[in-house]
Structure 1
Amino acid sequence: MSEIVTAILKHNDLPWQYAEYADNKVYTVDLETDMRKVWVNATIHTDIPRIRAGKLSAQFWACFVRCNSQYKDAVRQSLIQLDTIKKFVKRYPNTFEFVTTAQGILDAFSAGKVASLVGLEGGHSIDSSLSNLRMFYDLGVRYMTVTHSCNTPWADNWTVDKDKNPEHNGLTEFGKKVILEMNRLGMFIDLSHVSKKTMLDSLEVSRAPVMYKRKWRGCHDHIDHIKNLIGVDFVAIGADYDGVPTLPVGLEDVSTYPSLFAELVERGWTKEQLQKLAGKNLIRAFKKVEEI
Structure 2
Amino acid sequence: MNRSGLKTIGLLWLLLGSLSAMAQREARIHDKAILVDGHNDVTSASIVQGRDITEPQPDRHTDLIRWKKGGLDVQFFSIFTGPVAHNPKGVYADANDQIDSLEALIRRHPQQMMLAQSYRDIQKGIKQKKLVGLIGVEGGHMIEHDLGKLEALQKRGMRYLTLTWNNSHSWATSAMDETLHADTLTHKGLTDFGRSVVKKLNELGVLVDLSHTGEQTFYDAIATSTRPVILSHSSVYALCPVFRNVKDEQIKAVAKNGGVICINFYSGFISKKFDDRLTALNTAAEQRFTDSVFKSTGDAQQARKQWQAYQKQEMEKVRPSLSDVVDHIDYIVKMVGDDYVGIGADFDGIGSVPVGLEDVSAYPHITAELVKRGYTKKSIRKILGGNVLRVVKASF
TM-score normalised to structure 1 length: 0.89
Cα pair 1:89 1:116 within 8 Å, conserved: no
How do residues 214-253 of structure 1 correspond to structure 2 at under 5 angstroms?
A: 214=234, 215-216=264-265, 217=270, 218-253=324-359
Deviation at 1:25, TM superposition (A): 5.1
Q: State whether structure 2 residue 153 is matched by structure 1 residue 125.
A: no
2:188 is matched with which residue? 169
Deviation at 1:49, TM superposition (A): 1.1
1:12 is matched with which residue? 40
Between 1 and 2, higher relative CO (CA 8 Å, sep ≥ 6) is seen in: 1
Deviation at 1:72, TM superposition (A): 6.2
Cα pair 1:31 1:47 within 8 Å, conserved: yes
- What is the CA–CA distance in structure 2 between the aligned matches of 1:278 and 1:199, rounded to whole Å? 24
- In 2 relative to 1, CA 154–270 (structure 1 residues): closer, same or farther, beyond 3 Å? same
Deviation at 1:90, TM superposition (A): 1.9
Cα pair 1:156 1:167 within 8 Å, conserved: no
**5+ unaligned residues in a row in structure 2: which ranges?**
1-35, 235-263, 271-323
Cα pair 2:37 2:72 within 8 Å, conserved: no
- What is the CA–CA distance in structure 1 between the aligned matches of 2:332 and 2:49, rounded to whole Å? 40
- What is the CA–CA distance in structure 2 between the aligned matches of 1:205 and 1:10, rounded to whole Å? 22
- What is the CA–CA distance in structure 1 between the aligned matches of 2:202 and 2:325, rounded to whole Å? 29
Q: State whether structure 2 residue 393 is matched by structure 1 residue 287.
A: yes
Letter paired with 2:108: R
- What is the CA–CA distance in structure 1 between the aligned matches of 2:79 and 2:163, rounded to whole Å? 13
Letter paired with 1:162: L
Deviation at 1:93, TM superposition (A): 1.5
Q: Alignment partner for residue 46 of structure 1, among 55, 59, 62?
A: 62
1:185 is matched with which residue? 204
Letter paired with 2:154: Y
- In 2 relative to 1, CA 175–10 (structure 1 residues): closer, same or farther, beyond 3 Å? closer
Q: Alignment partner for residue 119 of structure 2, among 99, 102, 106?
A: 102
How do residues 139-154 of structure 1 correspond to structure 2 at under 5 angstroms?
A: 139-154=156-171
1:260 is matched with which residue? 366
Q: State whether structure 2 residue 220 is matched by structure 1 residue 201.
A: yes
Letter paired with 2:45: Q
- What is the CA–CA distance in structure 2 between the aligned matches of 1:245 and 1:49, rounded to whole Å? 21
- What is the CA–CA distance in structure 1 between the aligned matches of 2:116 and 2:54, rounded to whole Å? 21
Provide the aligned C-alpha RMSD in A. 1.7
The count of aligned residue pairs is 271
**Which is richer in helix?**
2
Letter paired with 2:138: E
- What is the CA–CA distance in structure 2 between the aligned matches of 1:178 and 1:211, rounded to whole Å? 15
Q: Alignment partner for residue 32 of structure 1, among 54, 59, 72?
A: 54
Cα pair 1:67 1:149 within 8 Å, conserved: no
